Structure 1
Amino acid sequence: MSRILFIVFAGLLVAGLPADIIFAQSGSAPFDVEQASRAYIDTLQGEELEKSNNYFEGGYWLILWGALIGILVDFVILQSRFSARFRDWAERVTKRHWLQPALYALPYVIAGFLLTLPWTIYTGFFREQRYGLMSQSFGDWFGEQMIGLVISLLIFPLLVMAIFAVIRRAPKTWWLWGTGVVSIFLFIGMMLGPVFISPLFNDYHEMADGPMRDRIVAMAAEYDIPAENIYVFDQSKQHKRISANVSGIGPTIRISLNDNLLERTDPDEVAAVMGHELGHYVLGHTWRTIFILALIIGLGLFLVARLAPRLIERHGAKWGVRTISDPAAIPILSLILTAYFFAATPALNSLVRITESDADQFGLDTAREPDGFAKVAMRLSEYRKIEPGPVEEMLFFDHPSGATRVRMAMQWKADNIENPVIQNPGKLEQE
């Protein structure tokens, strides 16, 4: 019997019938989750694997150096007494105490932008270009940095004006009220960002009618997700990365796909990605994220409320900072928060990673495209290390690693697909 099967198998191969179909028909190859996972994971080899690992592992050091540079910039602004000068200028412009922090924020934001500009250029442009992840010219990239600066000059003054208003009114419990203020700003940003900020960087147009849009609409309708607005945006002008999102709150909710997702992937991959993104909406991740961030920010502001007065008492005269309600204290608040968020990086990553994993599971259940999901996980290896160690993944990954996602997809396939077949994905396009 085995000789007959061998002859039939050889004949079908000669005829050009794919081996995975043969296995499916003969039932002779049991589905092994690890073997099916390795079929995908092992497609990344050689120089591409090394390049992916080097890029992502280099990011570990960027976290440290970015925090140190942020602390150093705030220290320079304090030590040089520029902070006091910014405050003095604000007091000369207006006698209204409530407006002075907003005026102070203008030169403070510009100074921070200029002092960190060499670092920003290296990490945001040259490093991305070196790894083949940048599609823009330097001029276009820098133009977007200027747009970001203008946005900061509009939003940050309003935020610090509100924070210092609660510091003056509730000097002992300001950190608690300040947490509420920041949460309100987060909510407004999530609601208005998709409508007013995102279009400043990309052009959005309605997704054309067709089978792919119909499938997205059907998936959304299954969970009563508003799908009147499905947009495609031209992110290929910036980079090659694939992405999509369900953004906004209430009347601003919209589904968006970047053009890379539609042009670089197959329909099963698009469905898998959209299932994941729809999961964020159905599972209430926007509200969960606001709540969790509020708790984390609240703890950070509590530490600021305890540490900043001590720093001001010891060094305030040298820096020209009077009290914590003095706008000149903003760099002190900033450097404490920078150190706090650096220390909290593993916790922040884990919280986000758990949310993303929940969306992954939802996406698999909704799209029912485990192989499409696995292929997308492999494409993301362009800029994410594919197979880290467990501790490494816990500390540095804000999404499940590619290997984790592939194994999840193959386990789902084993549990939910009748007579599953191990696929040979071959070499995925990387250009």
Structure 2
Amino acid sequence: MARILLFIFAVLLIAGLPAEMALAQNAAPAFDVEQASRAYIDTLQGADLEKSNQYFEGGYWLILWGALVAILVDLLILQSRLSARFRDWAERVTVRKWLQPALYALPYVIAGFLFTLPWTIYTDFFRERQYGLMSQNFGSWFGEQMIGLAISLVVFPLLIMAIFAVIRRAPKTWWIWGTGVISIFLFIGLLLGPVFISPLFNDYSEMAEGPLRDRIVAMAAEYDIPADNIYVFDQSKQHKRISANVSGVGPTIRVSLNDNLLERTDPAEVAAVMGHEMGHYVLGHSWRTVLILALIVAIGLFIVARLAPQLIERHGAKWGIGSIADPAAIPLLSLILTVYFLAATPAINSLIRINESEADRFGLDTAKEPDGFAKVAMRLSEYRKIEPGPVEEMLFFDHPSGATRVRMSMQWKADHVENPVMVNPGKLEKE
């Protein structure tokens, strides 16, 4: 279940696009949207195209294998009666029922981290380095994994303690109240994440004064987005992906750009990216995402509330579990949720993709940089398949594909730019 919580936070923290762009060169006598789009899309060819496709398509299998690894780990913890031992330890430490689930969560999180560590090392370190997407050495990467573990050891016990409190007090309707508990934790994550979590992984500094900052401030002011502080963070130490976001809630709202965005792109591209990110804020995507995710979580907890008691009745004696209110049942709840979230992956991807598409349109209207936006999409193709089939895009893409974004940019250009001209962007340089 710790992995489920981190996954949900991760979904919420998905803030936007990365970026890069193209220099206009040759004007065509007539502007054809498809021809203009192909001029960008076809810049990705040969070995670069094959590498991008292989990396992204391999990720489809990682979704399945990652879920299977999580399921096997929870089964191991159940079948070996480690879960019962964790529960017994918590009961020896304290007789307070409300505190026992939180204590149980400590060894459970550590065991889950250790059991899945080989898989995590392969998928998040070696595979990233294999495709040239990782800037860190193993020591730096592992240090960040330990920071993530420390965060889990604080957040997950608190969440588990709250959920088991509602299970004890409302055994028939706990899944409803549990959804509310998770929603509160998600809100707290949105509120505190930019201030207390993000700085644990990156250094944030004020963006230097200048025309680019002035343009970002002006764009933000147009939509009443607080932009007193615009931060640049040093994500190049981790990877070369381009990123920016408008994060936080209320007093913690902030505009942030990573250093890759400033170093690898020009001002038109930065404006395109920031227009997109501001779209998420103005269109209320964080709140919409929380509400829809709450619905998805509610369905998952309802399924858990129906299946878990039946499985405990059948196998509980073997596992050392007395009831669903027993903290030792946590791996079983996690296992069911893992299967459910795997099945819900297309729906979650579609939720995010719809938000991203809306933010794309907003960004085009705000920044008015269609060619910058098109090259942004092409730079993302370094690690995202550029032209998937429609079913493939629906199932596996949590953002619109690069081809979809380029065509949207060129259509916007045809509709809004007087006397639009064709651009020959040339081959994206390797950096």
State if a TM-score over 0.5 links the two structures.
yes
- Mapped to 2, the partners of 1:395 and 1:146 lie a distance apart of 32
Give the residue type in structure 1 aligned to 2:123: T
Counterpart position of 1:302: 302
- Structure 2 residue 165 is the aligned partner of structure 1 residue 165: yes
Say if 1:40 and 1:374, in contact at 8 Å, map to a contact too: yes
Counterpart position of 2:12: none
CA RMSD, aligned part only? 0.7
Counterpart position of 2:26: 20
Counterpart position of 1:205: 205
Give the residue type in structure 2 aligned to 1:61: W
- Mapped to 1, the partners of 2:63 and 2:375 lie a distance apart of 28
Counterpart position of 1:229: 229
Counterpart position of 1:218: 218
Give the residue type in structure 1 aligned to 2:113: F
Highest relative contact order (Cα 8 Å, sep 6+), 1 or 2? 2
Counterpart position of 1:320: 320
Q: Which has the larger radius of gyration?
A: 1
Say if 2:25 and 2:424, in contact at 8 Å, map to a contact too: no
- How many Å apart are 1:430 and its aligned residue? 2.6
Secondary structure in 1 matching 2:26: helix
- Mapped to 1, the partners of 2:314 and 2:178 lie a distance apart of 25
- Structure 2 residue 64 is the aligned partner of structure 1 residue 58: no
Secondary structure in 1 matching 2:232: strand
Give the residue type in structure 2 aligned to 1:59: G
Counterpart position of 1:118: 118
Give the residue type in structure 1 aligned to 2:317: A
- How many Å apart are 1:19 and its aligned residue? 5.8
- Mapped to 1, the partners of 2:25 and 2:354 lie a distance apart of 37
After TM superposition, where is structure 1 displaced by more than 2 Å over at least 4 residues in a row? Answer: none
Counterpart position of 2:339: 339
- How many Å apart are 1:265 and its aligned residue? 0.8
- Structure 2 residue 390 is the aligned partner of structure 1 residue 390: yes
| Unaligned stretches of 5+ residues in structure 2 | 1-23
Counterpart position of 2:13: none
CA 1:269–1:19 in 2, change beyond 3 Å: closer, same or farther? closer
Counterpart position of 2:271: 271
Give the residue type in structure 2 aligned to 1:353: R
Say if 2:233 and 2:257, in contact at 8 Å, map to a contact too: yes
Give the residue type in structure 1 aligned to 2:222: E
Say if 1:379 and 1:430, in contact at 8 Å, map to a contact too: no
Counterpart position of 1:10: none
- How many Å apart are 1:249 and its aligned residue? 0.1
Give the residue type in structure 1 aligned to 2:256: S
Percent pairwise identity: 84
The within-5 A match list for 1:74-113 is 74-113=74-113
Give the residue type in structure 2 aligned to 1:130: Q
- How many Å apart are 1:407 and its aligned residue? 0.2
- Mapped to 2, the partners of 1:189 and 1:383 lie a distance apart of 28
**Aligned pairs, number:** 408
- Mapped to 2, the partners of 1:131 and 1:216 lie a distance apart of 33
- Mapped to 1, the partners of 2:229 and 2:301 lie a distance apart of 38
Secondary structure in 1 matching 2:308: helix
TM-score of the superposed pair, with normalisation by structure 2: 0.94
Secondary structure in 2 matching 1:297: helix
Give the residue type in structure 2 aligned to 1:102: A
Give the residue type in structure 2 aligned to 1:312: I
The within-5 A match list for 1:179-190 is 179-190=179-190
- Mapped to 2, the partners of 1:339 and 1:72 lie a distance apart of 11
- How many Å apart are 1:88 and its aligned residue? 0.1
